[in-house]
């Protein structure tokens, strides 16, 4: 018998949710075959079979929360056999509680139609099991409030006085706070852990930082001409297409070196100035927005930047990003122009103090040397944390990016 273990989830990630089991109890499995998909706050992880054999046990159902090292189930080792006709369902089965285990009439659980006695220790998540064991609690005396009649960590803490027990008023919330009734033509879908994390982090960013956005516009004529002139030779020489992101990344890095506050973060009462330039690139996926990080962008050529961003984008769309690729960015670039956005105010990717928003390139009439000419123009938006970045620094940073894009030779000559 081989255990299926929850892998290490990465720095600052303490738990994951069971997103989907690919096999049912009794199904034949092969070594390294995907058995279950876990969803963390940052990425999805696939857990594979430790050996050939058949899936003998599933300890956590879809939607349950697990911690690193938790045993998700087990595989009976041996030759891969055909699936038995009477295989058990994938979801963990909870045996009907025997009458002696039913709550006493005077207990906290009495009269609760949703109550189900825990099916032994396996029915408790690792965090709940730890609280129950350390405090010598009786699981049958704890009123469960979980969505599947399971005991949550809050329930266990409430049982020992670590959290306030729900009051009768809390048990019957006002109609205004209750979920509204669904319309026949509507569909209610539970938010994924990733989407919940995106929502929480964006709101935390708004609540924490003193966010302000400054705008400018850039004439893309020079960059577009340079790109059109060398794109074929560039692709032939480097095996990757020449896009606009490499020019923007180069310009951003040069501006960050001149205005270090935009590349810093606040830690308590300290300011941490970062002498490395790890640029986050926002990527939209079918599961939500992720921001993989291009490491040491200041040391990369245009070709290196294009290859790096291309690889990160592909990994994001395929769901293959690692936790390391999502951590440690110092500044973020987001390109709403790929979707047709004309202007926006991007939200900071905490704890960073700056984010640059690129937008759609639009042909507009511009006054140049006293004459009206048509030029390809793009609006730029820099959102910044006003607690650490002054308005003068923010405007200077954005003007510097504009100068380097409108005259790319400046970057080559360090001007």
Q: Which residues are identified as catalytic? A: 386, 390
At 132 the three-state DSSP class reads helix
In sequence order, the 6+-apart residues with CB closer than 8 A to the CB of 66 are 6, 15, 16, 17, 18, 38, 60, 72, 125, 126
* 3-class SS of residue 275: coil
DSSP character string of 391-413? HHHHHHHHHHHHHHHHSTHHHHH
Handedness of CA 54, 60, 61, 62 (dihedral sign): negative
The half-sphere exposure of 77 on its side-chain side, counting CA atoms within 13 A, is 6
Report how far residue 271's alpha carbon sits from residue 250's, in angstroms, rounded to the nearest whole number. Answer: 25
Neighbours of 99 (CB within 10 A): 6
How many other C-beta atoms are found inside a 10 Å radius of the C-beta of residue 173?
A: 10
Please report which residue ranges of 190-337 form alpha helices under DSSP H: 193-208, 221-238, 245-258, 302-318
- In angstroms, the CA 350 to CA 7 distance is 27
Helix (H, G, I), strand (E, B) or coil at 198: helix
Q: How far apart are CA 343 and CA 173, in angstroms?
A: 42
């Amino acid at each position: 018998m081989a255990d299926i273990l929850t892998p290490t989830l990465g720095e600052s990630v303490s738990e994951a949710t069971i997103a989907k089991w690919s096999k049912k109890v009794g199904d034949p499995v092969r070594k390294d075959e995907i058995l279950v998909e876990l969803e963390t706050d940052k990425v999805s992880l696939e857990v594979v079979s430790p050996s050939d054999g058949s899936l003998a046990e599933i300890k956590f159902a879809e939607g349950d929360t697990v911690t690193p090292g938790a045993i998700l189930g087990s595989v009976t080792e041996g030759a891969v056999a055909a699936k038995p006709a009477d295989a058990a369902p994938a979801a963990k089965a909870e045996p009907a509680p025997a009458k002696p285990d039913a709550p006493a009439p005077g207990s906290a659980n009495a009269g609760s139609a949703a109550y189900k006695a825990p099916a032994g220790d396996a029915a408790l998540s690792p965090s709940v099991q730890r609280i129950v064991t350390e405090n010598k609690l009786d699981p049958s005396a704890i009123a469960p409030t979980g969505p599947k009649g399971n005991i949550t960590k809050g329930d266990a803490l409430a049982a020992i006085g670590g959290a306030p027990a729900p009051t009768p008023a809390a048990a019957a919330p006002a109609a205004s706070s209750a979920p509204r009734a669904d319309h026949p033509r509507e569909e209610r879908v539970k938010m994924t852990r990733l989407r919940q994390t995106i929502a929480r982090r964006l709101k935390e960013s708004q609540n924490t930082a003193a966010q302000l956005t400054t705008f400018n516009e850039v004439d893309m004529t020079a960059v577009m001409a340079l790109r059109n002139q060398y794109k074929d030779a560039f692709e032939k020489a480097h095996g990757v297409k020449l896009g606009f992101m490499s020019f923007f990344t180069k310009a951003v890095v040069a501006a960050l070196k001149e205005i270090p506050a935009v590349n810093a973060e606040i830690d308590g009462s300290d300011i941490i100035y970062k002498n490395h330039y790890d640029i986050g690139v926002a990527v939209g996926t079918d599961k939500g927005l992720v921001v993989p990080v291009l490491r040491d962008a200041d040391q990369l050529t245009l070709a290196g930047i294009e290859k790096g961003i291309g690889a990160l984008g592909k990994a994001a769309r395929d769901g293959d990003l690692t936790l390391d690729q999502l951590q440690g960015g110092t500044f973020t670039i987001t390109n709403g122009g790929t979707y047709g956005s004309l202007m926006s105010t991007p939200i900071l990717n905490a704890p960073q103090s700056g984010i640059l928003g690129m937008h759609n390139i639009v042909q507009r009439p511009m006054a140049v040397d006293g004459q009206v000419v048509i030029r390809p123009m793009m609006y730029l938006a820099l959102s910044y944390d006003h607690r650490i970045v002054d308005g003068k620094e923010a405007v200077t940073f954005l003007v510097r990016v504009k100068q380097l894009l409108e005259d790319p030779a400046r970057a080559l000559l360090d001007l």
